[in-house]
Structure 1
Amino acid sequence: MRKKYPFVIRLTLVLFLVSLILTMLIVGRDFLYPICLALLFSFLLYPMAHLLEKWKLPRVLAILISILSAIAIIGAGMFLLYQQMAVFIDDFPELKKHALDNLNYLQVQIDNMVGPMDHNKQWWLREKVSNLLNNSGDIMTKVFNATTGTMVKMGLQPVFIFFMLYYRERFSKFIYMLAGRSQKDRVKTILGEISLITKSYISGVFIVVLILCFINSFGLMIVGVEYAIMFGILSALMNFIPYFGTLIGAAIPLLYTLVSADPKNAIGVIILFVIIQFLENNILTPGITGGRVAINPLFTILIIIAGGMMWGIPGMFMSVPFAGMFKVVCHHYRYLRPIAFVMSKNKGDVINDKLGALKKWFAKIK
């Protein structure tokens, strides 16, 4: 008969295990997040690689074509964004002057409303923003250095993705061996659900972001915002972060219109992104991703914050799909099922009702 330890001891062991895992995730951040990101991209590219293999292409060639296709698409988008940002940087001195003129006008209006102020505080707003603009070169250098470091890690992504796709059966068998024969059916079900949910979610997010690139850019052109394509792409890229992405994306062109452009356009930008937020939350995301991860908003927000604290922006993007994987595992083990229940979006329904239909649809594709 298995000995049952007191609740306090069991709770202490659980807390110790959680603390140990969090410490490993934080300390091993630079090593772990490129691998985890490659795992998600592997789920994204697997359908294409699998389809090419069904067409009798060798596995190596099928995987290489899939990876090169993804690199070409991402590279084209980055090149377009680079061209737009190059124009923006060339115009930055003129934009800076225009921004300071707008701030002078705004400061005068503030002084007229609140009455005479202390001379040392009279131009505080202009001085703060002017210092920020003067130091923008240092800020951009730091951002560039951080981005360069990230790009170096991203340069290893194709290598990780290639080997993950190439050795995918070996990884599956490794998990089966760890679980043992008695757990084979359960593990097979878990891996199938994780694969289905992750592929659907990641591909859906990329499609939503691609659509938003066009909608944002076209909408900003209608509003009359300069560099509409650049701001449209940057705003759309923020939507890789659930819930917070649209707000962060809207803040970029809004700040520009308030400071450097015609402040009247800010009203148009606000109205535009309110409409886009409605479309994204009620039509695009539910229709394309279909709520596959099915985690309730409270836990989604907490998970995103925790992911950002541990791994920065990559952690905010990866936290939701990995939380979905964890929820699937919890659902299939009785002692972990309460965790899956409290995380679930639908009352009493851990896996989305559409999962069965999705399985049949993917089975037809295969």
Structure 2
Amino acid sequence: MIQTIKLPFYAKLACILVSLISFAYIFCITKDILTPVLLAFLFAVLLLPIFTFLHTKVKFPRHLAAIVCMIIFISFIVGILVFISYQVTYMANDFGTIKKNANSFIIEIHKFIRENFEISIGEQKKYLDSVTKDSVKNGQAKLGSAIISISDVLLDSTIMIIYTFLFLIYKEHFKLFLAKLINKENHSVLKDILSQIKVSINNYIVSLIIEMIVVSILTSLGLWIIGIKYFILLGLITGILNLVPYIGILIAGIITVFASLTGSGETSVILGILIVNVIVQLIDNNILVPLIINSKVEINAFVSIMGIIVGGAAAGISGMFLAIPLLAILKIIFDRIESLEPWGYLMGNHVPRKFTWRVRRRKIEE
């Protein structure tokens, strides 16, 4: 018979911290391998309702149901990429106008700097020439690294699709493996954890899609009001890039400013773009995220921001995207294990009641 060893609080705390640090270290040194696996796991959970419907209701064989799910998933991604590339092709026809308006805008900036900072246009051009020479020297190296990065993305995407397919096929196999790891009396807790993880991840990804659609619509509407030509394309790009915390919206803003030069290079138009982006971000951060995202994953803002920063430092953009669902999974596990329940409460988004210390007074013996 296995006896349970009761450890003091400081020993439990040390074991928990060592375990978390060990998992974080393993993830950092194997991030190139684990990142596609974790992304595939999220997409497999998202596709699981479709797979279950095809396999149990329509009576498709397991492999055929998984293939149909992957076709639906790939078709959705390819459809978005085709639409974007179709719109970008039209935008490329306005390259001459973009170049002309960009030159006009640069001249206005030169004049503004000369009038307000008393730096002549010649001195400004000399500085820009020196910066341009340095960038030309590093251009070939940057081009080579960009090509390698694109090839890595394509390879990771292919591997991720294969992993997603395998997760769907071996779903029951993985469940049986987890059941064999723990005692039978804890199988009900394991079943509850797995079901809650599925619900939480599904809610999170669906919420992200809803947020992306709302941000795309609001941005497209704002750009249409100020007269931007390709407002639908730019709104969609903003909604997609908004999925990447912090960095995405900055990249979307730069792309929108660049695309606005197809119409006119006036400063008022660029100022209008910045105002639209700021207003959409205020709506997103103060209404959409608390209402749609935080209510689904039940992770407080402090832990979310820390997780996103740590995820970005560990695995870049993929780590930032994975941070919230991984934290949600950890919270579900912590909430259902008695010794880890305080950590789950710390990560949660609960509104605490007023706390009063209960001190047990000892009787002083004379």
CA distance in 2, matches of 1:299, 1:176: 30
> Aligned pair 1:45/2:59, yes or no?
no
Equivalenced residue count is 348
Match of 1:193 among 192, 196, 215: 196
Point out the more displaced range, 187-196 or 131-140.
131-140
Point out the more displaced range, 309-318 or 106-115.
106-115
CA distance in 2, matches of 1:129, 1:204: 43
Equivalent in the alignment of 2:360: none
> Aligned pair 1:315/2:325, yes or no?
no
Match of 2:179 among 164, 171, 176: 176
1:12 Cα deviation (Å)? Answer: 5.5
Equivalent in the alignment of 1:101: 104
Match of 1:82 among 69, 81, 85: 85
CA distance in 2, matches of 1:194, 1:291: 15
Question: What aligned pairs does 1:144-159 form with structure 2 within 5 A after superposition?
Answer: 144-159=147-162
Match of 1:273 among 251, 271, 277: 277
CA distance in 2, matches of 1:210, 1:136: 37
Counterpart of 1:329, as a letter, is I
Counterpart of 1:46, as a letter, is L
For structure 1, list consecutive stretches of 5 or more residues without a partner in the other structure: 350-366
8 Å contact kept, 2:110–2:121: no
8 Å contact kept, 1:254–1:266: yes
CA distance in 1, matches of 2:133, 2:272: 26
8 Å contact kept, 2:294–2:300: no
Counterpart of 2:51, as a letter, is A
8 Å contact kept, 2:208–2:243: yes
Shift in CA distance, 115/318, structure 1 to aligned 2, threshold 3 Å: same
CA distance in 2, matches of 1:124, 1:30: 40
1:110 Cα deviation (Å)? Answer: 1.9
Helix, strand or coil for the counterpart of 2:205?
A: helix
Question: What aligned pairs does 1:66-145 form with structure 2 within 5 A after superposition?
Answer: 66-88=69-91, 91-92=94-95, 95-96=98-99, 98-115=101-118, 120=123, 124=127, 128=131, 142-145=145-148
Shift in CA distance, 87/14, structure 1 to aligned 2, threshold 3 Å: same
Equivalent in the alignment of 2:298: 294
8 Å contact kept, 2:244–2:321: yes
Larger Cα-atom Rg: 2
Equivalent in the alignment of 1:356: none
Counterpart of 2:111, as a letter, is V
Counterpart of 2:310, as a letter, is A
CA distance in 1, matches of 2:349, 2:30: 31
Equivalent in the alignment of 2:341: 337
For structure 2, list consecutive stretches of 5 or more residues without a partner in the other structure: 354-366
Helix, strand or coil for the counterpart of 2:351?
A: coil
8 Å contact kept, 2:111–2:121: no
8 Å contact kept, 2:256–2:273: yes
CA distance in 1, matches of 2:228, 2:130: 26
CA distance in 2, matches of 1:301, 1:129: 37
8 Å contact kept, 1:235–1:246: yes
8 Å contact kept, 1:176–1:184: yes
1:330 Cα deviation (Å)? Answer: 0.8
CA distance in 2, matches of 1:190, 1:74: 30
Helix, strand or coil for the counterpart of 2:228?
A: coil
Shift in CA distance, 251/342, structure 1 to aligned 2, threshold 3 Å: farther
1:269 Cα deviation (Å)? Answer: 1.6
CA distance in 1, matches of 2:147, 2:224: 28
Equivalent in the alignment of 2:357: none
1:202 Cα deviation (Å)? Answer: 0.9
Counterpart of 1:340, as a letter, is G
Point out the more displaced range, 272-281 or 65-74.
272-281
CA distance in 2, matches of 1:112, 1:218: 36
Match of 1:210 among 201, 210, 213: 213
Counterpart of 2:209, as a letter, is F
TM-score by length of 2: 0.81
Counterpart of 1:49, as a letter, is F
Moved over 6 A (4+): 129-138
Shift in CA distance, 137/88, structure 1 to aligned 2, threshold 3 Å: farther
1:219 Cα deviation (Å)? Answer: 3.0
1:287 Cα deviation (Å)? Answer: 5.3
CA distance in 2, matches of 1:301, 1:47: 30
Match of 2:29 among 17, 27, 31: 27
1:275 Cα deviation (Å)? Answer: 3.4
Q: What is the alpha-carbon root mean square deviation over aligned residues?
A: 3.4
> Once the two structures are superposed, what CA deviation does each residue of 1:206-248 show, in whole Å capped at 9, x if it has no partner?
2322343344334323322344344322211122235665455
Percentage of pairs with the same residue: 26
CA distance in 2, matches of 1:278, 1:334: 39
8 Å contact kept, 2:45–2:201: yes
Helix, strand or coil for the counterpart of 1:156?
A: helix
CA distance in 1, matches of 2:321, 2:336: 25
TM-score by length of 1: 0.81
CA distance in 2, matches of 1:103, 1:136: 22
CA distance in 1, matches of 2:49, 2:9: 48
Shift in CA distance, 148/116, structure 1 to aligned 2, threshold 3 Å: closer
